[in-house]
């Protein structure tokens, strides 16, 4: 039994195989319509979500399976003080696989220690979000054909943005990727990510504060929202929340084939006028999120298409 808590729980080969399978699912959905008949997913969400929870649920239903779960700690027995360890022991009696989101870093890893079913980390605090990374990789691969030689700009809240940490961690394994890290001083990528992923692997990267000065160099621009829920001080959030707003005027300086990604939800970081630009890939990302979660659950459950 395998859990996916960290992007590196999937080797490069396993990641590529999942992306291939997800691509086939996108092209031939009917082939997979009943591969998970008789299987049940539990979505255990202790923190708000629209995309991750509903795409996991849609993914299981697309494969003929069923879904149970809760969408907040308040409507589960966590509100009465039940531990994650006890909850997963219970859920193991009801479901075949589970996706867990939790505000505490490490909670899905703890659940995995006590689980009799595969646990997928659906986002833990400001730490990791491996299935968002699969979504991002599928979108980049479909737009660019691969990762080799790409200059990838990550912009916004790079400190608390778990999708950024997971994407760097996964992409750092591909040779020839360059990173441009665009953030205010206070929201820079954590030092441990810089040390373990970029410096240790000798990957080229730059840290800058100004988006417009680097936008022309980028093949991918990954925008992120400032993570209000992770701030201790509201005044700091208000000061930093609109640090970057991608507008049509700024996009005119970018390459004609640059792709704009965003894990969503968006607050103000991308002006609505950008949505109609062919470089906007963030709603494509949402669709790809269903296919990668289908591919991941099918693989972890060990089921095969006929």
Residues that bind ligand CP (CB under 6 A): 49-52, 123, 132, 263-265
Residue of 3, 39, 129, 162 marked active site: 129
- The CA distances from residue 197 to 10, 131, 141, 190, 194, in Å, are 16, 19, 21, 11, 6
Give the nearer residue to ligand CP in terms of CB position, either 47 or 214.
47
Catalytic residue among 3, 51, 162, 225: 51
CB of 52 to ligand CP, least distance (A): 3
d(CA 51, CA 72) in angstroms, rounded, equals 14
Q: Which candidate in 15, 43, 52, 163 is catalytic? A: 52
Closest distance to ligand CP from the beta carbon of 39 (Å): 22
Give whichever of 51 and 293 is closer to ligand CP, judged by the CB atom: 51
Catalytic residue among 39, 101, 102, 143: 101
Half-sphere exposure of 70 (CA within 13 A, CB side): 14
Q: What angle do CA 303, 128, 95 make, to 5 degrees?
A: 35
Closest separation in Å from C-beta 100 to ligand CP: 12
* Cβ(166)–Cβ(7) below 8 Å: yes
Cβ-based nearer residue to ligand CP, 54 or 194:
54
Q: Are 102 and 125 in contact (CB under 8 A)?
A: yes
Of 132 and 243, nearer to ligand CP (C-beta) is 132
Residue 150 contacts residue 206 (beta carbons within 8 Å)? no
- Residue 101 a catalytic site member: yes
Decide if 129 is catalytic. Answer: yes
Is there a catalytic annotation at residue 80?
Answer: yes
Q: Distance between CA 121 and CA 259 in Å, rounded?
A: 27
Q: In the complex, what is the shortest distance from the CB of residue 288 to ligand CP, in angstroms, rounded to a whole number? A: 12
Residues designated as active site: 51-52, 80, 101, 129
């Amino acid at each position: 039994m395998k859990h996916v808590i960290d992007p590196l729980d999937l080797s490069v080969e396993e990641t590529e195989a999942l992306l291939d399978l997800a691509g086939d699912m996108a092209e031939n959905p009917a082939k997979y319509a009943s591969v998970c008949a008789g299987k049940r997913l539990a979505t255990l969400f202790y923190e708000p979500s629209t995309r991750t929870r509903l795409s996991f649920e849609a993914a299981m239903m697309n494969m003929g399976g069923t879904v149970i779960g809760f969408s907040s700690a308040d409507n589960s027995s966590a509100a009465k003080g039940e531990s994650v360890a006890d909850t997963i022991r219970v859920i193991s009696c009801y479901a075949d696989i589970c996706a867990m989101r939790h505000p505490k870093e490490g909670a899905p890893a703890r659940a995995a220690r006590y689980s009799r079913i595969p646990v997928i980390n659906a986002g833990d605090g400001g730490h990791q979000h491996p299935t968002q990374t699969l979504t991002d990789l599928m979108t980049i691969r479909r737009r660019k054909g691969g990762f080799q030689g790409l200059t990838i700009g990550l912009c916004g809240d790079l400190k608390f943005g778990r999708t950024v940490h997971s994407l760097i961690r996964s992409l750092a394994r591909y040779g020839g990727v360059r990173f441009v890290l665009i953030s205010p001083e206070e929201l820079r990528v954590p030092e441990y990510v810089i040390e373990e992923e970029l410096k240790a692997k000798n990957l080229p990267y730059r840290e800058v504060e100004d988006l417009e000065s680097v936008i022309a160099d980028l093949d991918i621009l990954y925008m992120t929202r400032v993570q209000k829920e992770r701030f201790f001080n509201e005044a700091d959030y208000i000061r930093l929340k609109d640090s970057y707003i991608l507008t049509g005027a700024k996009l005119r300086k970018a390459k004609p084939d640059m792709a704009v990604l965003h894990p969503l939800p968006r607050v103000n970081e991308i002006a609505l006028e950008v949505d109609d630009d062919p470089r906007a890939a963030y709603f494509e990302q949402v669709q790809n999120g269903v296919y990668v979660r289908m591919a991941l659950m099918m693989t972890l459950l060990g089921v095969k298409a006929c």
